[in-house]
Chain A
Amino acid sequence: MATITLDTVRKVYGGNVEAVKGVSIDIADGEFIVLVGPSGCGKSTLLRMMAGLEEITTGDIRIGDRVVNNVDPADRDIAMVFQNYALYPHMTVYNNLAYGLKNRGMAKDEIDRRVKEAARILEIGDYLERKPRALSGGQRQRVAMGRAIVREPAAFLFDEPLSNLDAKLRVQMRVEIKRLQRALGTTSVYVTHDQLEAMTLADRLVVLNGGNIEQIGAPIDVYDKPASTFVASFIGSPAMNLLKVKADGNGLALATGTGLKGPNTKGRDAYIIGIRPEHLEVVSAPGEGDGIHLEASVNVLEPVGAESYLYSSFADGGDEILVRVSSHARHEPDEKLYLRAAPENIHYFDAETGQRID
């Protein structure tokens, strides 16, 4: 068990591709950190630098008190779970788990004890003598987890370990990983592009965009107070509605048309407001209550079971807005819609930088 500290870590590939641009994170002992962001934002690169699979261009990575920049991957006391599992195809499940322990000169009976214990926890005891090719995707995933936990390392590093599984198994393994990490209390860094996976697993989220950190925080804090329009649209599903607005007399209006009314609480000429789909309330008449009022017309009602998504747009075109409604709500296409967002549920962002305005 250990802390992991990243101090302005940069990675430049081949002299010109700057994949990670000076990232600093302090990871507490036993914490579950999720690095989340769209494909190509540098998540894997960052994780692989922690593992020692990628050189660090500048900056320092510390595991515990030790700067590990030049420490061999095998000596960093970390275990990694790969997206494609990376099991040794020529070894049995037992040997896949035992390999790293044997190479560290551990006694045979201690290896056996650890492998059996991991097999019991992960319920792979019945396949110990099988080769990986004789296992299903889910079973391979468990073996990959087993290979990490037998090592009892200072930290687990996960690189999209669930993205090759089908949806149902993914949810099941997600819960299991969380439970296991809680039980073992091992510091973990988990990479994913799936914001739902990130929200459900993380003690703290690190939202990455183009090699930079956009925001670090507990999932609910990131959700409640996204630091930028990027985070606002990336975290939360369906994504937050973002509307460009401008000052109009004493109030606000859409930057490109009509259909929005509200107080100019920030006193600026132009900014972006964000409203989550679940914070838009369908009201019977325009202009009732404070906050922001919208007038739109229905495009499509999309039922997903527990709730429905109402896609609608303003009379004179422009942005489409998404409203979460009850699964029992009935709306016809082209129906006129009055929407309201309460003041506490409105997010404000700078029109140029996209940064949050408080």
Chain B
Amino acid sequence: MVTSTDYGRVARFTAVFTFFVTLLSLGIALLLAVKADKVLRGASSYKTLLMWVYAVAPPVAGLIGVLLFDQHVGPIVELFALFGWKMQIGVSYFDTSFAMIVTAVWKQIPVNFIFFLSGLQGISKSVQEAASIDCRSGFRRFWTVTFPLLAPTGFFLLIINITYAFFDTFGIIDVIVKNEPGNNPVTLVYKVYLDGFRGNDLGGSSAQSVILMVMVFILTIVQFRLIERRVHYT
């Protein structure tokens, strides 16, 4: 099973998918959080607004994401069509992967944003001020002071995001490929379902789920260790 070319292909896609989802959702969320942090440090009245965002952002964004990127009713396909890209979701391997990644990233950004923002707010104001006296360039200051101080949050989110890309994207993938006949990209978790419930290969499916279980186990251990470190760091 492990050597089967089909499994290898899915594993490769899962790796690529996880890489892009993690990188993009972390990167974009960090960018947004840094901007938001600047605004928040200026005025305390924005704090109420922030609480509001905290509470409603993740579920609402998730909902909007699914609507926006739905290949049948969502406006995103039409938007790209305007730029001359006729997306063939469910038919073209690349287009389908693209839609999956964008939807998954969109859905995860608010979660990452909130963690990054609270991480940034946790950095002492006077440390930032000391840095502004020691270093003129804001860009350099970010990479030498802010980013390293955010690293514990970043590591923690990295694990959360890998776990998310692996396991929590099942719904997104299902919506996109469910009724499509083509040879579409799927992740390992989705393959377990496909093989077991669509292909009626319960044996192969169970073997795959054992592998996934080991992965969950490893990720969980890493996560716990990081959380411990995080507590020590601050």
Say if A and B assemble together. yes
Tell me the chain B residues, 102-153 only, with Cβ under 8 Å from chain A. 124, 126-127, 129-137, 140, 144-145, 148-149, 151
Determine if B148 and A90 form an interchain contact, defined as CB atoms under 8 angstroms apart.
Answer: yes
Residues of B near A16 (CB, < 8 A) are none
Give chain B's interface residues, CB within 8 Å of chain A.
Answer: 124, 126-127, 129-137, 140, 144-145, 148-149, 151, 233
A88 to B131, CA, bound (A): 8
- Given contacts A89-B127, A90-B148, A80 and B133 within 8 Å (CB-CB): yes
Specify which of A53, A83, A84, A88 is in contact with B132 (CB 8 Å cutoff): A53
Residues of B near A86 (CB, < 8 A) are 124, 126-127, 129-130
Tell me the chain A residues, 89-117 only, with Cβ under 8 Å from chain B. 89-90, 99-100, 103
Determine if B135 and A53 form an interchain contact, defined as CB atoms under 8 angstroms apart.
Answer: no
A162 CB–B CB distance under 8 Å: no
Specify which of A75, A88, A90 is in contact with B130 (CB 8 Å cutoff): A88
Determine if A75 and B136 form an interchain contact, defined as CB atoms under 8 angstroms apart.
Answer: yes
Determine the residue in chain B with the shortest Cβ distance to A80: B133
Specify which of B129, B137, B151, B233 is in contact with A82 (CB 8 Å cutoff): B129
A82 to B131, CA, bound (A): 12
Cβ distance A343 to chain B, nearest Cβ, rounded Å: 50
Determine if B135 and A100 form an interchain contact, defined as CB atoms under 8 angstroms apart.
Answer: yes
Residues of B near A147 (CB, < 8 A) are 130, 134
Residues of B near A79 (CB, < 8 A) are 133
Determine if A90 and B133 form an interchain contact, defined as CB atoms under 8 angstroms apart.
Answer: no
Determine if A99 and B129 form an interchain contact, defined as CB atoms under 8 angstroms apart.
Answer: no
Determine if B133 and A88 form an interchain contact, defined as CB atoms under 8 angstroms apart.
Answer: no
Give chain A's interface residues, CB within 8 Å of chain B.
Answer: 51-53, 72-76, 78-80, 82-84, 86-90, 99-100, 103, 147
Determine the residue in chain A with the shortest Cβ distance to B137: A103
Determine the residue in chain A with the shortest Cβ distance to B132: A73
Residues of B near A83 (CB, < 8 A) are 126
Determine the residue in chain A with the shortest Cβ distance to B149: A90
Residues of B near A103 (CB, < 8 A) are 134-137, 140
Determine if A100 and B127 form an interchain contact, defined as CB atoms under 8 angstroms apart.
Answer: no
A86 to B129, CA, bound (A): 8
Determine the residue in chain A with the shortest Cβ distance to B145: A88
Determine if A89 and B149 form an interchain contact, defined as CB atoms under 8 angstroms apart.
Answer: yes
Residues of B near A100 (CB, < 8 A) are 133-135
Specify which of A52, A78, A84, A99 is in contact with B124 (CB 8 Å cutoff): A84
* Cross-chain pairs A/B with CB under 8 angstroms, 11 sampled: A53-B129, A72-B136, A74-B134, A82-B129, A83-B126, A88-B131, A90-B148, A99-B135, A99-B144, A103-B135, A147-B130
Residues of A near B131 (CB, < 8 A) are 88, 99
Determine the residue in chain A with the shortest Cβ distance to B129: A53
Residues of B near A52 (CB, < 8 A) are 132-133
Cβ distance B232 to chain A, nearest Cβ, rounded Å: 9
What would 18 more interface pairs be, CB under 8 Å, given A80-B130, A88-B131?
A73-B129, A73-B132, A74-B133, A74-B135, A74-B136, A76-B133, A78-B133, A79-B133, A82-B129, A86-B126, A86-B130, A88-B127, A89-B149, A89-B233, A99-B144, A100-B134, A103-B134, A147-B130
Among A75, A79, A83, A90, chain B packs the most CB atoms within 10 A around the CB of A90
Residues of B near A89 (CB, < 8 A) are 127, 149, 233
Q: Which 5 A-B pairs have the closest CB atoms?
A: A100-B134, A74-B136, A86-B126, A86-B130, A103-B135
Specify which of B126, B127, B132, B145 is in contact with A74 (CB 8 Å cutoff): B132
Residues of A near B126 (CB, < 8 A) are 82-84, 86
Cβ distance A106 to chain B, nearest Cβ, rounded Å: 12
Determine the residue in chain B with the shortest Cβ distance to A103: B135
Cβ distance B115 to chain A, nearest Cβ, rounded Å: 19
Residues of A near B132 (CB, < 8 A) are 52-53, 72-74
A86 to B145, CA, bound (A): 12
Residues of B near A53 (CB, < 8 A) are 129, 132-133
A75 to B137, CA, bound (A): 11
Residues of B near A99 (CB, < 8 A) are 131, 134-135, 144
Cβ distance B42 to chain A, nearest Cβ, rounded Å: 10
Residues of A near B137 (CB, < 8 A) are 103
A75 to B145, CA, bound (A): 19
Cβ distance A322 to chain B, nearest Cβ, rounded Å: 38
Among A52, A73, A84, chain B packs the most CB atoms within 10 A around the CB of A73
Residues of A near B151 (CB, < 8 A) are 90
A100 to B137, CA, bound (A): 12
A75 to B144, CA, bound (A): 19
Determine the residue in chain B with the shortest Cβ distance to A76: B133
Residues of A near B145 (CB, < 8 A) are 88, 90
A75 to B133, CA, bound (A): 8
Residues of A near B144 (CB, < 8 A) are 99
Residues of A near B135 (CB, < 8 A) are 74, 99-100, 103
Cβ distance B25 to chain A, nearest Cβ, rounded Å: 25
Residues of A near B233 (CB, < 8 A) are 89
Cβ distance B123 to chain A, nearest Cβ, rounded Å: 9
Cβ distance B135 to chain A, nearest Cβ, rounded Å: 4
Specify which of A51, A84, A87 is in contact with B133 (CB 8 Å cutoff): A51
A103 to B133, CA, bound (A): 10
A357 to B72, CA, bound (A): 88
